[in-house]
Amino acid sequence: MELTGQNLIGGTPAGGGAAFRAVDPASGATLKPEFREGDAALADRALAAAEAAFPAYARTTPGVRATFLRAIADELLALGQPLLERAHAETGLPGARLESERTRTVNQLRLFAAHIEEGSWVEARIDPGDPGRAPPKPDIRRMLVPLGPVAVFAASNFPFAFSVAGGDTASALAAGCPVVCKAHPGHPGTSELVARAVYRAADRGSISTGVFSLLHGWGHEVGLALVRHPLTRAVGFTGSLRAGRALFDAGAARPDPIPVYAEMGSVNPVFLLPSAVAERWETIAQGLAQSITLGVGQYCTSPGVVLGVGGPDFDRLVRALGERLRGAPAGVMLYDRLSEAYAAGIARARSRGAELLAATPAPPAAGPTCGAPALLATDAAHFLADPALREEVFGPSSLVVKASDVAELVRVAEALEGQLTASIHGTAAELDVHAPLVEALQRKVGRLIFNGFPTGVEVGHAMQHGGPYPATTDARTTSVGTAAIVRFARPVCWQDFPDAALPAALRNHNVLGIWRRVNGAITREDVASGV
């Protein structure tokens, strides 16, 4: 498919402002075609199209929306090798990684389709009325309904799974909300190809193309315009703390504040308890090295801090980890600003007293976005005293923190900001003995991992990919897994409505066959009495 470089408003190509091109991060070469920056006027057009499409789309049955999601998945697969080649050219990510990520994206679209067909996500609650009670008890029924148009900001590090047809878009469309997507400027051609797949899926299902628009841009204008627009009802974002906080503040400053669900970063600490270090030091070192360097460290769950109790066993593990990182190849990072920020992060940590234990030399012919693995070290006292050492360095590095005992590890855990994950390596007995560490981490993270590494995020019903601020702006929500759908819905209660006027999920006859809470009990049975 030939790329146009246009913004897409409900499927209709639209021009824009200044021109820019994608850049091959491996070579620095610019790629055709030129893309046009979106602006506030285009954001207004896209949200007007979304608002016009919303009433009919919100009324579609779960089956219709499920068919739409599955059609998007099919169209992504139908794009074949050209999609992977364009994504590789724009991101430098290897073909096998991109193919795996496309599979994940397809699977999560299909997972949301099955989820809404099953139907209990609407959390239907029914308290039948009792006119014979004194005073009469009203008939009250409650369920989740879609919010309205949602603005989605695509991420740089996952050009499929957290981008145009990624988890935020899938969960919003599944809930019944139109989406206006701000493409990441690092992979605009990939974004256009995926957007056109969404439109083809909409045509197959007779869905209004107004349910989806795509806007481009490096600048802040179009993003802030989307958040501030009065028709936007919620925002999904994955990216940096600085950008996420700016969008969150913009959403809160509106005359009518809206939720901005921003995932913004995490150092994902890995705590190594003494027995695990003594028994499995070599295996742990190998697993850490693989996790730190996976995808050139460009995962929001990359382990940026490794903590343990000092001693011969811990020192041996750290030496083994350093050897593995020193021998790991440097890689191509997604774009120049990211590699520059990575280098600055390493320099900042060293300027604050962190010791450089190991580093991979950049190859002589390294491109402009080369990211070289590195391992730094400090002690717990300095780590506790200097907040700068606790800042995320996005890339293939980690900071080793040596504590005097497990009690000091607990103090470090208590001092951490909110995180997406924390990992504990130890024995079952150590978990019991060191329960205060587990309890401290439970207050700080969204996902606790035992004897594993954080970079694998399973897409399923129970996954929690979120955490206390600054990992995300709302620790109650997730951006991965089917629970993500509730971000784009709100509860509505119907009191004393006639049965025929109720949504299907709340009627006496459970025509959808979903699980509902009736008089406090979970059941699929019909309601015996009602208004």
Q: What's the rounded Cα separation, in Å, for the pair 395 and 375?
A: 11
Q: What is the DSSP letter of 522?
A: E
Cα–Cα dist 477/490, whole Å: 13
Compute the distance between CA of residue 141 and CA of residue 125 in angstroms, rounded to an integer. Answer: 6
DSSP annotation of 23 reads: B
What's the chain's Rg over C-alpha atoms? 25
Question: CA angle, corner 359, sides to 354 and 361, nearest 5?
Answer: 140
8 A C-beta contact, residue 263 and residue 420:
yes
Give the tokens for residue 7: 């913004």
Kindly report the length of the chain.
531
| Of residues 362, 352, 363, 271, the one with CA closest to residue 317 | 271
Residue 353 region, left (φ>0) first, then alpha (ψ -120 to 50), else beta? left
Beta bridge partners of 196: none
| Site of tokens 């600054």 | 470
Residues with active-site annotation: 263, 300
- How many Cβ atoms are within 10 Å of 522's Cβ, its own excluded? 9
For residue 450, count CB atoms less than 10 angstroms from its CB and return exposed for 0-12, middle for 13-18, buried for 19 or more: exposed
**Can you state the percent helix, strand and coil of the chain, rounding each to 5?**
45, 20, 40
CA distance 117 to 65: 9
Which of 528, 457, 462 lies closest to 499, judged by CA?
Answer: 528
What contacts 142, CB < 8 A, 6 or more positions away?
A: 123, 124, 125, 126, 491, 492, 493, 494, 506
Query: Where in 165-224 does DSSP place strands (E)?
Result: 179-182, 212-215
- With a CB cutoff of 8 Å and minimum separation 6, the contacts of 116 are 62, 65, 66, 174, 175, 485
Token pair 């919003």: residue: 172
Q: How far apart are CA 53 and CA 149, in angstroms?
A: 9
Looking at residue 310, the DSSP 8-state letter turns out to be -
Report the C-alpha dihedral over residues 39, 40, 46, 50, rounded to 10 degrees. 150
371 by DSSP, 3-state: which? strand
